[in-house]
Amino acid sequence: MNKNKRYEILSRLRDNNPNPTTELEYGSPFQLLIAVLLSAQATDVGVNKATRKLFPAAPTAEDMLALGVDGIKDYIKTIGLFNSKAENAYKTCKTLVEEYSGEVPEDRAALEALPGVGRKTANVVLNTAFGWPTIAVDTHIFRVSNRTKLAPGKNVKEVEEKLIKVVPAEFKVDVHHWLILHGRYTCIARKPRCGSCVIEDLCEFKDKTSD
């Protein structure tokens, strides 16, 4: 894909959604970190349902630490892998309180050192909470990047590196959200909704649908 077509794709996605953000609900960088940690192999809808009760009860790292592992579990039992997620959330809160005065560090290495936090989670937090031009490649971004040929790659690391390389600076902060939402609602896995896609004429996917 040439850079002019890529620029037009990103321009249309921006025009269609000028101020994109995550669909996870949160009120602080700490709450975003916990929400993303809970979102692995779970839907944003499911996570929001749990955190609407969890966050009022424990809005800060200190409060969540006071709940204890079992207390956290009580709020997140509806989410998959809740046992290990509760453990990681507790350990993460402990580290934040002991090493960062309860605040979320604006630092990749520090974030990735937290229990249950990998590169993707760190990228989401750095991008959404702190405005870094990071791109967290999930299943939706991986699919859209490969289908459209915007930034094809064999694995998430390749796609992330390609996106960082080819996406112009003016789009970098928001491209993460545009591609997730596009993959979630339009370029869906089984039968993409090409008929209602704003970039259908620019997309290089060979098996387009009429829907």
Alpha-carbon distances, residue 161 vs 140, 155, 164, 211 (angstroms) = 16, 10, 5, 32
Write the pLDDT tens digit of every residue in 82-137.
Answer: 999 999 999 999 999 999 999 999 999 999 999 999 999 999 999 999 999 999 99
Residues of the chain with CATH 1.10.1670.10: 3-19+134-196
Does the pLDDT value for residue 210 go beyond 80? no
Listed in order, the ranges of the chain carrying CATH 1.10.340.30 are 29-128
**CATH code of domain 3-19+134-196:** 1.10.1670.10
Quick check: pTM over 0.85?
yes
Binding residues, by number, are 187, 194, 197, 203
From residue 116, how far is each of 33, 105, 200 by CA, in Å? 10, 15, 37
CA gyration radius for the chain?
18
Q: Please tell me the predicted confidence (pLDDT) of residue 208.
A: 86
Rounded mean pLDDT, 175-190: 95
Q: How many helices (H) and strands (E) does the chain have?
A: 10, 0
The predicted-structure confidence for 30-54, as pLDDT tens digits, reads as follows 999 999 999 988 999 999 999 999 9
* 211, pLDDT greater than 80: no
Residue numbers in the known binding site for [4Fe-4S] cluster are 187, 194, 197, 203
Secondary structure class of 23 (helix, strand, coil): coil
Show which residues are catalytic: 120, 138
Residue 199 gets which letter from DSSP? T
Q: Could you report the per-residue pLDDT of 122-156, keeping only the tens digit for each? A: 999 999 999 999 999 999 999 999 999 999 999 99
Name the CATH superfamily for 29-128: Hypothetical protein; domain 2 (1.10.340.30)
* Cα separation values, 184 from 88, 117, 188, 192, Å: 27, 23, 6, 10
